[in-house]
Amino acid sequence: MTHRRKNHGPSERPRRNRFGRALGRPGKAPGIEPHELPGLARGDAPVTVTCVDYCPEQARVERVDDVRSFLATHRPEWSSVRWIDVVGVGDPTLLRALAEKYELHPLAVEDVVNRGQRPKAEDYPASAEHPGRLFVVVRLVDRVDGNLSTEQVSLFLGRDTVLSFRARGPEPFVPIVQRIETPNSRLRRSDASFLLYCLIDAVVDHSFPLLEEVSDGLEELEEAVFQDQAGRDAPQRLHRMNRELMVLRRVTWPMRDLLDNLHREHHECLSDTTRTYLRDVHDHVVRILDLLETYRELASNLVEMHMVSASNRLGDIVKTLTIISTIFVPLTFLAGVYGMNMPIPENEHAWTYPAFWMVSVGIAGALLYWFRRRDWL
């Protein structure tokens, strides 16, 4: 019996992420178990792990080099909250160690690996297999090489533990570490869910400087368009700003639903005090959405104004060319008459030659005067 090898066309090949895991294959079991992680391809980007332990009296920030020995030791007795921040998600062995240590749900682990999730919050209640965890996905917008890009930030909240996974660092979490290191700060006196609020708030507030950059660019373009000095690159600049506004809106819009969910629904790991603070983050998101709508309308108006200005300039050019052509029509007629094969008048009458030029100049002057009276010049 002959077995024929099935060839997959380009459209049939499964898409792969940076780990090499196929995405969207029909019939595949959902989730990723910890023992499946080592089979994924390792990424090229370096991975750094930072552990922050703190309580009202003290705090300690340390970089973790040997993750397995670190996870094998117990946290200090004085530590009331532990935050493990992982920058770079290209090490499946590290992810497996953390997933096994903190018993992360396979569905949440799959969302950490496949970094294309929209902002969301998923509650995994405590069960016989896994402890209760709140899993939150937010997207951080940042400018990379002059262009806006988004990256996924995955957050796990336990009773006294917070895990964060992101592709790049260190911003915008540096101020949070500084607040933890500040004695008697509110963050140090609060529980782990308050740290989750601070991380989400930092990601949301990171969009405000980007909005200010877009606002400054729009104001500069608006002034240039009004003064008719926008330049030929104005459409490209407006298109780039519109794309940036779309990126910000695509990231910010689902954040409103996420925060509504966190504020209204009950989560066993989320304290009532933290839910109160999450209302403030929700207000920030609403404000960003309002600014985005305002800037999008302004950008659309600038596009229309630039098109009208360009059309007016083209009309002025056509009008000038039309006036010049109109002036030369009678002159061309007279020159055509002189070009005919016929006796030339000045051969018999010397005054006819200067008379011809006087008539030509008079016609051109009369036309120019008439155009000026009609405000066409």
Q: Does residue 241 belong to any structural domain of this protein? A: yes
Same domain? For 343 and 273 the reply is: no
Q: Angle at Cα 142 formed by Cα 114 and Cα 204, nearest 5°?
A: 85
Whether residues 334 and 284 share a domain: the answer is no
- 28 and 117 part of one domain: yes
Same domain, 222 and 365: no
The reported pLDDT for the residue numbered 222 is: 78
Same domain, 131 and 219: yes
Tokens, residue 41: 């391809």
The 3-state DSSP composition of the chain as helix, strand, coil percent (nearest 5) reads: 55, 15, 30
Q: Compute φ and ψ for 202, nearest 5 degrees.
A: -65, -40
Q: Enumerate residues 6+ apart whose C-beta is below 8 A from 76.
A: 53, 60
Distance, CA of 31 to CA of 116 (rounded, Å): 15
How far is the C-alpha of 211 from the C-alpha of 235, rounded, in Å? 20
Q: Looking at this protein, which amino acid is placed at residue 361? A: V
Residue 134 lies in a domain: yes
142 and 243 in one domain?
yes
Domain that holds residue 347: 317-373
CA geometry: angle 150, 48, 30, nearest 5 deg? 60
Q: How many structural domains are present in the chain? A: 2
Tell me: do 329 and 217 sit in the same domain.
Answer: no
> Would you say 275 and 262 are in contact if contact means Cβ atoms under 8 Å apart?
yes
Nearest to 210, CA basis, from 232, 164, 243, 165: 243
Retrieve residue 119's tokens: 């902002």
Average pLDDT over residues 135-162: 90
Give the model's pLDDT for residue 332: 78
Mean pLDDT over 67-94 rounds to 89
Q: Which amino acid is at 79?
A: S
- Answer whether residue 12 is part of any domain: no
The answer to the question of residue 340 being in a domain is yes
Average pLDDT in the chain: 81
Mean pLDDT comparison of 90-104, 142-156, 189-203, highest-scoring range: 189-203
Residue 7 located in a structural domain: no
Same domain, yes or no, for 329 and 290? no
14 belongs to a structural domain: no
Find out whether 173 and 160 touch, Cβ atoms under 8 Å. Answer: no
pLDDT for the residue 341? 67
Percentage of the chain with pLDDT > 70?
79
Residues whose CB falls within 8 Å of the CB of residue 43, separated by 6 or more in sequence, listed in order: 18, 19, 88, 89, 90, 91
Question: Is 146 in the same domain as 73?
Answer: yes
The model's pLDDT over 306-350, given as tens digits with 9 standing for 90+, comes to 777 777 777 777 877 787 777 777 777 767 766 666 666 666 666
User: For position 231, which CATH number holds?
Assistant: 3.30.460.20
Statement to judge: residues 260 and 338 lie in one domain: no
> What 3-state DSSP class applies to 161?
strand
Residue 6 inside a domain? The answer is: no
Of 262, 284, 308, the residue at which a domain comes to its end is 308
Same domain, 231 and 286: yes
Rounded to two decimals, the pTM is 0.75
Let me know whether 221 and 150 are in one domain: yes
